Amino acid sequence: MKIAFKIAVRFLKSTKWQTLLIVLGIAVGVSVQIFIGLLIQGLQNSLINKTIGNSPQITITSSASDKLISNYNSLVNKVKNTDNKITNISVVSDFPALVKNSSKTYSVLIRGMDINASSKIYNIVNSVYQGSIPKNSDEILIGKDLKDELSINLNDKVTIVTSTGQTKKLTVTGFYDLKSSSINQSWIITNLNTVQKLFSTGDKVTGIEMQVTDVFNAQAIAKEISSNIKNSNIKVDNWQSQNASLLSGLNGQSVSSYMIQVFVMISVVLGIASVLVVTVVQKSKQIGILKAMGIKDKSASLIFLFEGFLLGILGTFVGILLGLSLCLMFTKFAINPDGTPLVALYINYGFIAISALIAVLASTLAALIPAFGSSKLNPIEVIRNA
């Protein structure tokens, strides 16, 4: 085996330009594979973060006539014990209402919650750009767009009209910006106690929201929760069932990425195999002499397998560096108007390692055809025809 390895190295050194071209060919294939794979994964992560990153991925609501959930603390404990992938659990109480100023009336959603707990989902605390979060009853946060519509300031009072016609004045303690115009214009955020008193719900809520560590496993976790709760009046929804078109688009991106990578690798394998087959012809005299000197057919085959392996190692190493460089350049040149990258740089070391392993294996397997051909060479005929 050592002799076969040394001969393989010598063969590669004797045709430096040919070796360089093969290494570059492998490097280009690997770099395209890594660049496309990381780009698609980065795009998916960016899309997920923008759409569901700051929102609940599983929600529990009531299908009872009053749409309220009682004994919610017990329900929260059951949810926590269902799966360790469940995080950031928060109870909410949501009701539609009207907010009035001197001349106009706006339709809003009053959201009562434990603001610190819900902030782990919505990032509310860090989104308050003026004032502070409500600490007492009858205090509220208002979104940036609604603030502009109402033309109000901190500590002003706004009049809330419920669906039953009751009115209540609430004090504005702060303004938030959740980077969504529809939310900023429609959500009025307050603590749970304020909503429960305003809408006379007692110690009940309208929903339980949570996130999971693996967003693509949300549907399976939601089924586990539903099985664990075993309550016909409780409904468990998840982002995957509510965003079928988004999930279909993400799956389509993944499939297209895999197809591109497969065809790139096939082209690399064919290129290596064809070049090494030619090498067998070029080196047939040397191989014939080696066989006449006593080298076995197995060792002759190993020479080309080692060549494929070494070419795969060199090409993969250069390809990884080139692929990461392409990713970095893409984030520098493909930018938004504000200067941020169109797709943030995303490095998946596991994906890179798997891609590298596949490339090395493919390069080694590509050498099987020339290896088989070299084992069939007859040394007498080769030397006679040389």
Phi and psi at 141, nearest 5°, equal -110, 140
Q: pLDDT per residue over 15-31, tens digit each?
A: 788 778 878 888 888 88
pLDDT of 269 higher than 90: no
Max mean pLDDT among 20-24, 165-169, 184-188, 276-280 falls in 184-188
Beta strands in the chain (DSSP E): 58-62, 86-100, 105-113, 128-131, 139-143, 157-161, 167-176, 187-191, 207-212, 234-238
Domains of the chain, by residue range, sit at 2-51+246-385, 64-232
* C-alpha–C-alpha distance, residues 256 and 302, integer Å: 36
Q: pLDDT per residue over 278-289, tens digit each?
A: 665 555 556 655
Residue positions counted in the chain? 386
pLDDT of residue 17: 81
Question: What's the rounded mean pLDDT across residues 234-263?
Answer: 75
Task: Give the CA radius of gyration of the chain.
Answer: 32
Question: What's the rounded mean pLDDT across residues 133-138?
Answer: 88
**Of 202, 206, 207, 175, nearest in space to 188 by CA:** 175
Question: What's the rounded mean pLDDT across residues 255-270?
Answer: 74
Question: What's the rounded mean pLDDT across residues 301-309?
Answer: 76
Residue with tokens 């979104």: 143
User: Considering the chain, what is the average pLDDT of its residues?
Assistant: 81
**Of 90, 379, 84, 56, nearest in space to 237 by CA:** 56
The pTM (predicted TM-score) of the whole model is 0.68
Q: What tokens does 374 get?
A: 């070299």
Predicted confidence band of residue 375 (pLDDT cuts 50, 70, 90): low
